[in-house]
Structure 1
Amino acid sequence: MAGILSMILAGGEGTRLAPLTSVRAKPAVPFGGNYRIIDFVLNNFVNSDLLQIFVLTQFKSHSLNKHMSRRWQISGLTNRFIDSIPAQMQMGKHWYQGTADAIYQNVSLIEGLDPEIVCVFGGDHIYKMDVRQMIDFHRSHDNAKLTIAAIPVPVDQADQFGIIEIDEHNRMIGFQEKPKENAKTIPGRPGYVLASMGNYVFDSSTLVSSLKEDAEDIDSLHDFGHNIIPKLQPSGDVYVYDFSTNHIRGEPDGTNGYWRDVGTIDSLYEANMDLLEITPPIDLYNKHWPMRSYHPAVPPAKFVHDLEDRMGHAISSIVSAGSIVSGSTVHHSILGYNTHIHSHTYIDDSVLMGNTDVGRNCRIRNAIIDKDVTIAPGTIIGEDADFDRSRFHISPNGTIVIPKGARVGFE
């Protein structure tokens, strides 16, 4: 037996993150200056010493596959691998029809390795998790066929998640998939529901048999939340793991339980801003839980000019390697690799994803600027909502998004 196999669902189209996903899959979207979203789940498995991993890709996968090949390759280690698996259409000439179908179309990979346990995790969330603690919880219940990681969320977000009810033994006794109304709240906490994180630990034989049965159901959506979980729940063999109990060595007090579904522009922006807190709720600097990613061969960041009206400095910000802050001010912002901010420019509350050149005398606020963007001198973004709306995509909370490769302010 292979023991524990991990399968990461990384084929999401990410339509709510447009235009950032116009050229890439959601898990490949840059995050936090140095990372891609996919790096967080991969670091969770690698730091948990779980090194048999298939990453299932689908839509616009080139950027993701390139990132995987540059950083997430294991070679020369027996029975250890991180393999990117494109949609191969082995079960018919169609894309994955749902999360369960994605695993079903690759069921031969499971059967070939014959593991005891299969972890099925999403590839598009920002969090830290020692996955072995969840596996230990699963194994502590002799009859467990499936364990689902869960976290409390406000009841007004219930329509975005699978909502769970549990008994005093952490056994699932009820499940609603993205209910639009009458979501079951947590006893004693009427403002919150218990939400599935989309992270599952399966008994391998249960997973395979459930997938094969589901594949034969022509009325199924072939989705874990809509189909697989509701069919398994009545058996009494589905348990719920409290993510807030997951402990990682070296984490600051109060940071356990941080998890963000960065499925919208606003949630992605807010998760980036979380990194700028004095004690961020997710710590990128914990030496006991290294955050690996691909790092290009670029020089260190540089800050130049020290004149009264022309000083290069960054305050409450993250500045990645290769960046130059030249006689300008960067405040409460994130600069990705190779970002050049020219003199007399002011950047505030913004995320610049990298390879960006911002000309002189610009003012930019409340923006996400994708890679390879050039901004002309004198450009102002974030001060005139109507003018910005005529040029750019703006989120419901007012975050301005400039797509990859744009040239802004040039005639």
Structure 2
Amino acid sequence: MAKKNIPVLAMILAGGRVDELSVLTFYRPKASLPFGGVYRVIDFPLTNLMRSGFFLVGVLSQYRPYSLMEHLDYGIPWDMTGRRRGIYILPPFRGREASDWYKGTADAVYQNLEFIKRWSPEVVLILSGDHIYRMDYRPFLDFHLQNKADVTIAFTPVKEEEAHRFGQGVIEEVSPFGGPLKDYREKVSPPVSTCASLTIYAFRPEVLEEVLLANVGEDSHEFGRDILPRMLGAYRMYGYIFRGYWGYTRTVKEYWQTNMDLLGPEPKIDLKRWQICTNLAHREVRDRKPTILGTRANICDSLFYNGSFINGEVHRSVLFPGVVIEEGAEVSESILFYGTVVKRGARLKRVICDAGVTIEEETQVGGEEDITVIGTKTSVPSGLKIAPGAIVYPNLKKEDFSQVSYPAGEIVS
């Protein structure tokens, strides 16, 4: 087992937004997206690092970073303050002048090579900041060091019909943990393997610098598409197989499903066992009063947190602090962010409401077929019907809705 004092520097790719998450990432990077009623997505890799004993982290952030910076709070919630400890926010920067944007995952790390050299790590651990999983990185790093690998990539088995969406590794499995990496392809169809990349890489620092410098003059700057395929045959590359739960949150449906995996009699994500750390000062979560349940509250298979008032029916849903469900309202298979208000007689099914949304009386939103998403601080007027799969933009007032009903897949802006 790797010792806690092994000189490891973690670099978390946390800067971007993805169009597939629509209005949920209009005002925040994907890594700071709320998850599970009280957490942020980036809490999961940060907790993994903390539990593994690695406390030195660079966070590569660029897109609307304020909410992420506020949440990270200098690393205090994860005990990442002190000598050779800390969370460092690393915006785009090259030489003495700031650049406009990171041009890709590899370029993001390249622009921070001086930061890496400053700490003289034995291993550079590159992580995605937007996956939901629980992993002790020490066995992974042991595997990397014992094999004297130049780079080790973590993979997880996926269904063959899903493999085309991920980087794919062909691994010579000489042990239960994996073995030499024989081939790597980025999102090809038909797939060459059902081992999907987790975007978890362990690099020898000198090799990392070498391959990043070689990539500088290229048109594309991605680890999966550019760096890793070109390393094949020239470097010692190994694949490590992770067999635990891994939640992918790239699309609205996947984000919704990963939240639903928190529920049920045997949840796939066991928060009690995982013990995820978060910043409870963010949005004043720790200072809110206990949730009040009214006499008409009927709650089944759901998560809710402090500062809420529930007096309606809630089934298989995740409610963040400050949510209000009035008497006669029904919420099913939905995710309601901070301060969402669902008024009397409103019905929501498979809906994601961003923070500060108000659903007025007798409104019907969503249904069985697809996920409906409502952007932050929007007020949906009473009596309105919004079909499944619709997208409602942020900051809309009641008078901005010109129809009494909106069809499936409609974009209301």
Structure with more relative contact order (C-alpha pairs < 8 Å, separation 6 or more): 1
1:131 lines up with 2:137 in the alignment: yes
The answer for the alignment partner of 1:198 in structure 2 is: 199
The corresponding residue for 2:323 is 339
Q: Is 1:398–2:385 an aligned residue pair?
A: no
The equivalent position to 2:19 in structure 1, one of 8, 15, 23, is 15
Choose from 116, 126, 129 the match for 2:122: 116
Give yes or no for contact 2:301–2:317 (8 Å, CA) kept in 1.
yes
Question: What runs of 5+ residues in structure 1 fail to find an aligned partner?
Answer: 186-192, 245-256, 306-310, 386-396
Q: Is the 8 A contact 2:313 2:330 kept in 1?
A: yes
Alignment of 1:64-143 (within 5 A): 64-69=68-73, 72=76, 74=79, 77-90=82-95, 93-142=99-148
3-state SS of 1:235 partner: coil
Paired AA for residue 149 in structure 1: A
- Is residue 267 of structure 1 aligned with residue 239 of structure 2? no
Matched position secondary structure for 1:285: helix
CA distance in structure 2 between the partners assigned to 1:72 and 1:160 by the alignment: 36
Change (3 A) 1:70 1:201: closer
Amino acid at match of 1:173: K
Measure the CA separation in 2 of the matches of 1:235 and 1:213: 13
Is this contact kept in 1: 2:125–2:203, CA < 8 A? yes
CA change 1:71–1:5 in 2 (3 A) is closer
The answer on 1:174 being equivalent to 2:183 is yes
Contact 1:71 1:294 in 2 (8 A): no
Alignment CA distance shift 1:76-1:260 (3 Å):
closer
The aligned counterpart of 2:393 is none
Q: Which residue of 2 aligns with 1:324?
A: 309
Q: Does 1:218 align with 2:218?
A: yes
Residue type at the aligned position of 1:125: H
Residue 290 of structure 1: CA displacement?
Answer: 2.3
Amino acid at match of 1:206: V
Post-superposition offset of 1:158? 2.6
Secondary structure, in 3 states, of the residue corresponding to 1:205? helix
Instruction: Quote the residue 1:277 is aligned against.
Output: 264
* Other structure's SS at 2:31 match: helix
Q: What is the match of residue 189 of structure 1?
A: none
* Residue 88 of structure 1, CA deviation: 2.7
Q: CA deviation at 1:236?
A: 5.3
Asked if structure 1 preserves the Cα contact closer than 8 Å seen for 2:164 and 2:190, the reply is no
* 2:166 corresponds to 1:161: yes
| Unaligned runs of at least 5 residues, structure 2 | 382-397, 400-413
Q: 1:63 and 2:67 equivalent?
A: yes
CA distance in 1, matches of 2:161, 2:90: 36
Cα 1:89–1:72 shift into 2, 3 Å: farther
The sequence identity of aligned pairs, in percent, is 34
Render the CA deviation track for 1:152-172: whole Å, top value 9, x for unaligned.
Answer: 112222332111111243101
AA matched with 1:138? H
- Shift in Å, 1:35: 0.7
Distance 2:235 2:208 in 1: 16
Q: Which residue of 2 aligns with 1:24?
A: 28
Return the TM-score normalized by structure 1.
0.86
CA contact (8 A) 1:68 1:84 kept: no
Which digits, 9 at most, give the CA deviation of each residue in 1:111-146, with x for residues without a partner? 11111100000001111110111101111113x100
Matching of residue 302 in structure 1 with residue 292 in structure 2: yes
| Between 290-299 and 261-270, the greater mean CA deviation after superposition | 290-299
Task: Tell me if structure 2 keeps the 8 A contact 1:321–1:337.
Answer: yes
Give the CA RMSD over aligned residues. 1.8
Question: Which amino acid in 2 is paired with 1:164?
Answer: G
Is 1:350 matched up with 2:298? no
Report the Cα distance in structure 1 between the residues aligned to 2:319 and 2:74, rounded to whole angstroms: 21
- The answer as to 2:348 corresponding to 1:364 is yes
Counterpart amino acid of residue 235 in structure 1? A
SS of the aligned residue for 1:27 comes to helix
Structure 1 residues 263 and 336: alpha-carbon distance in aligned structure 2, compared to 1, 3 A threshold: same
Aligned to 1:407: 379
Q: How far is 1:62 from its partner?
A: 1.3
How far 1:87 moved relative to its partner? 2.1
Question: Structure 2-normalised TM-score?
Answer: 0.85
SS at match of 2:47: helix
Letter matched to residue 203 of structure 1: R
